[in-house]
Structure 1
Amino acid sequence: MPKPTSLTDKVVTVCFAPGEDADWFAASEKVNDLLHANGTPARRYRVRHRRLIGWLTRFLGYYLLDAARRFGAVTLAAGGRKSRLDLTGTTAQAARAAGLRWRAWNTHINATTRPARPWEDYLAQHHADPGKVTLNEARRRFEQQPRVLAMLAASFDPYELSVYQAGEATYVGLHWRIALIGDALITTEGRLLAPDSDSVADRFRFLNEACAYLRGLRSSARLCAVAIA
């Protein structure tokens, strides 16, 4: 994902230092200043409930942004104080879902079709000689492969082929990081972190850096996930 012009239909995590104004309007301003885009809150985070008073915090939306409720209890939020967000639960849920997807792919696609060349290979052909291999031609060549056709027929995202073929640990590792970070991150200092390209390797490098940054934030720091349309 090139930065920052193609950050559309993506999720950006905005970080705020403790004590800094951290409402939805402040998050929107940061996104607009750095990406020249508008967005909406993205309810991505599970909410943490303390053990001793969990019955009470379950119904309170303090220190949360755009909280969602189920039967009156707070379940998800677009952000809030780091200590109120269940980041571990968020990543665990994403990891479980990704593991189920990969195992289904392994059973129905990997076991029945031959390995295929990933989209990145055909995209490189297009970039190397756009006159000879147009973007539509590159996509046609990629999608005519039997494994890719099988993925399309079974509703698996064929543009994740390289990650699927890299194995379950890689596929799950990518998706729990995406659940936590999204596609870009704005630090408390106003610095934009994003992948240098669409390659899986660059996405992992970015996500590892962003995850380390998020872990280093104090529990009183605040986060807000913004979906850019």
Structure 2
Amino acid sequence: MPTPSPLTASVITVCFAPGEAADWFAASEKVNDLLHANGTPARRYHVRHRRLIGWLTRFLGYYLLDAARRFGAVTMAAGGRKGRLDLTSTAAKASHYAALRWRAWNTHIAATTRPARPFEDYLAQHHADPTKVSVAEARRRFEQQPRVLAMLALSFDPYELSVYQAGEATYVGLHWRIALIGDALITTDGRLLTPATDSVADRFRFLNEACAYVRGLRSSARLCAVAIA
């Protein structure tokens, strides 16, 4: 299926101002009010441990939401105080795995098949003349391309084709931003930020804006990642 649209986003990052009630119920209410959807906590963030007392903070879940532990130590969380979330490590891990995926794609797909047209091109044909080209027909034309068939055979997401073909830096850059933000962001003043369209360019514009917004928040502000159906 195509890239999810803003209204069917699967992960929403909710931002809270310092002093504002910032528990899981508050995050759920914000998501429900703006997107009319229910969700669950999404443990996406690595947890920061302070150097001087890291041995102690490693086992304390204060200022965290839905924290996960490994051998008693807090490792991941769905959110919490920005100062306790290790956003750098979260982005770095996403970058690492994205680079591995792109290099595998480059070796097994790009080296053995010709470049293909992305699904957006075929979807444009549908929008230009829906009676002549249905969505199903657009998808059929897209998926019959040898490169797309190879991606399906080797379990690469063919609807990320345009990002794969744009190069490693572009592919990695998209995915570390997604790891931090998800598919939409609710600001501390209740604004909903989403991509203007499903295009990769608009996703980058949205993610750049959202990352800059989160970067500008104080360390005492709180975040919560919410996964919705």
For the criterion TM > 0.5, the same-fold answer is: yes
Distance in 2, matches of 1:129 and 1:206, equals 29
Distance in 1, matches of 2:18 and 2:100, equals 37
Structure 1, unaligned runs of 5 or more: none
Distance in 1, matches of 2:172 and 2:203, equals 14
Distance in 1, matches of 2:209 and 2:128, equals 30
CA deviation after TM superposition for structure 1 residue 6, in Å: 2.6
2:30 is matched with 30
1:2–1:196 contact (8 Å) kept in structure 2? no
Distance in 1, matches of 2:120 and 2:176, equals 22
Instruction: Kindly provide the amino acid, as one letter, of the partner of residue 123 in structure 1.
Output: L
Distance in 2, matches of 1:48 and 1:2, equals 32
Distance in 2, matches of 1:20 and 1:129, equals 50
2:112 is matched with 112
1:178–1:207 contact (8 Å) kept in structure 2? yes
TM-score, structure 1 as length reference: 0.97
SS in 1 for 2:49: coil
SS in 1 for 2:223: strand
Deviations 1:110-161 (A, max 9, x none): 0000000001101111111111111110000000000000000011000000
Instruction: Kindly provide the amino acid, as one letter, of the partner of residue 145 in structure 2.
Output: Q
2:174 is matched with 174
Identity among equivalent positions (%) equals 86
Distance in 2, matches of 1:162 and 1:191, equals 30
Pairwise mapping of residues 117-196 of structure 1 onto structure 2 (< 5 A)?
117-196=117-196
2:65 is matched with 65
SS in 1 for 2:225: strand
CA deviation after TM superposition for structure 1 residue 2, in Å: 4.0
Distance in 1, matches of 2:174 and 2:66, equals 26
Distance in 2, matches of 1:90 and 1:6, equals 24
Instruction: Kindly provide the amino acid, as one letter, of the partner of residue 6 in structure 1.
Output: T
Distance in 1, matches of 2:8 and 2:13, equals 16
Distance in 1, matches of 2:8 and 2:28, equals 18
CA deviation after TM superposition for structure 1 residue 42, in Å: 0.2
2:8 is matched with 6
Structure 1 vs Structure 2 CA RMSD: 0.7
SS in 1 for 2:112: coil
1:225 is matched with 225
Structure 2, unaligned runs of 5 or more: none
Distance in 1, matches of 2:8 and 2:130, equals 19
Instruction: Kindly provide the amino acid, as one letter, of the partner of residue 98 in structure 1.
Output: A
TM-score, structure 2 as length reference: 0.97
